[in-house]
Amino acid sequence: MQKVYLDNAATTQVRDEVIVKMQDALANFYGNPSSTHSYGRSAKTAVEKARKTIAKTLNAQPSEIIFTSGGTEADNMILRCAVRDLEVKTIITSKIEHHAVLHTAEELEKEYGIALWFVDLDPYGNPKMDHLTKLLQKDGSKKLVSLMHVNNEIGNIVDIDAIGALCKEYDVLFHSDTVQSVGHYPWDVQETHVDFFTAAAHKFHGPKGVGFAFIRKNSGLKPMIFGGSQERGFRAGTEPFHNIVGLEEAFVQSYDLLEEEMAYVKDLKSYFLKQIKEAIPSVEFNGHSGDTDKSTYTLANVRLPFDKQQGLILLFHLDMKGIACSKGSACQSGSSMGSHVLTELLPAEELEKPSIRFSFSKYNTKEELDYTIGVLKEFAAG
């Protein structure tokens, strides 16, 4: 049995270079970065170096990078602090955002009585810009727009520059969950108007448990976690130095090799789309994931022409054949509910068919894709 990992949107394999850097940090730089002796100073220097490296690549200032435990914490922190500290009264988002945004916004609606508005989507899952404009024009409340750059389930790429420009025109705060985008696409925060965005290292071949928030200078946000003065007083708690060093190395590698690795993975996805259409002609693609220009090169969400009973055992069958993939976000795998993204986009009869997300990385090969499609074709034949 072959082993094939095609769940890279959930998490990625850690690069060898990252593992080496983290092992060195754990073995040799174990001082607390807040300590004033040489051990602490060495660790602190490395933390600040990582911050500067990330900021330079994003064309940001080092003070605008706040290390967190990952994307979920960063999204929670930004939305909560915006309501608490910036007097945001209305959050505008979409019903297909990651639950780190949706569930946080829903809790803020209960706790603070804010208005929660959802922008209309087209049949593919893209926000309708004319409706967003109407929502921005509606009443005079302080607003924050939260729309993700790359959807984690269907891979749609939103026009983040157009949304940012619209928010700037109406003097509205703009937050984007960019967890599926950072490390895979170039970023320049001076070119794109965005007040806040988030990243998680494990989405671009770094360690789990570390990420960062970009918080534009002079935003007015105050700490959510209190204690020591770490992260310039914005996020208390001893820094996970080994994870931050790992994040930095993964970030550097991802952007140094961006063109080469993007071309390789994009070719893999194009090959997968072509081969699966040939093997199972009635296959369909959710959102824009079948379009390499309108969706991320890292994933394809396929809807297969199997009945409900076949669908119930498909993932199990793939797992038994050594193939790792998913029905949607790994964050909801413990839930009995289906994908909230597909529920929003598909009619009931199409939801009965199994939809599978296959996501790719530099570590995959066309031979692995051939094997996977062969298993699907065999399953379809009964």
Residues 345, 350, 353: CA angle, nearest 5 degrees: 125
For tokens 């297969």, the residue is 304
Listed by start position, the domains of the chain span 4-13+258-381, 16-256
Q: Residues in the chain with pLDDT < 70?
A: 328-337
| CA distance between the termini of the chain | 19
Q: What is the pLDDT of residue 334?
A: 46
Q: What is the pLDDT of residue 328?
A: 63
Q: What is the pLDDT of residue 233?
A: 87
- Residues 50 and 244: beta-carbon distance below 8 Å: yes
Q: Which DSSP letter does residue 179 get?
A: T
Q: 4-13+258-381: which CATH architecture?
A: Alpha-Beta Complex (3.90)
Which CATH class for the 16-256 domain? alpha beta
Q: So which residues are the catalytic ones?
A: 331
**3 class by beta-carbon count within 10 Å (0-12 exposed, 13-18 middle, 19+ buried):** exposed
